[in-house]
Amino acid sequence: MTPEVQKRIDDLVKQDKIVVFMKGSKLMPQCGFSNNVVQILSICGVPFTTFDVLSDPEVRQGIKEYSNWPTIPQVYLNGEFLGGSDIMIELYQSGELQQMVEVALAS
């Protein structure tokens, strides 16, 4: 990953409290895993930003290196990598996600 791509990803990750790198958009997810994440965050009723990795091949590859996580979607909370679809489902079902999001939005 080039330093320029890393800087772009840094800026994207830090632009909002919750950022989702996904295939498609909030309104039109392009894969089931991305849709799962959008649904979970929507149910939580929290504001979040999405970035469509299909629109930018450098970010699509770079985000995998950035997080050391091989799959998309990827969720960032307060600039920290939280996880992908499976982790989001687990966190939501356990009630941990709601607590984490409340703390992040309050900070």
Locate the domains of the chain by residue range: 3-102
* Distance between CA atoms of residues 54 and 37, nearest Å: 16
pLDDT at residue 106 tops 90:
no
Domain 3-102 classification at class level: alpha beta
The angle that helices 57-67 and 3-14 make with each other, rounded to 10 degrees, is: 80
Share of the chain above pLDDT 70, in %: 100
Q: Where would I find the H helices in the chain?
A: 3-14, 32-44, 57-67, 85-94, 96-106
pLDDT at residue 1 tops 90:
no
pTM of the model: 0.94
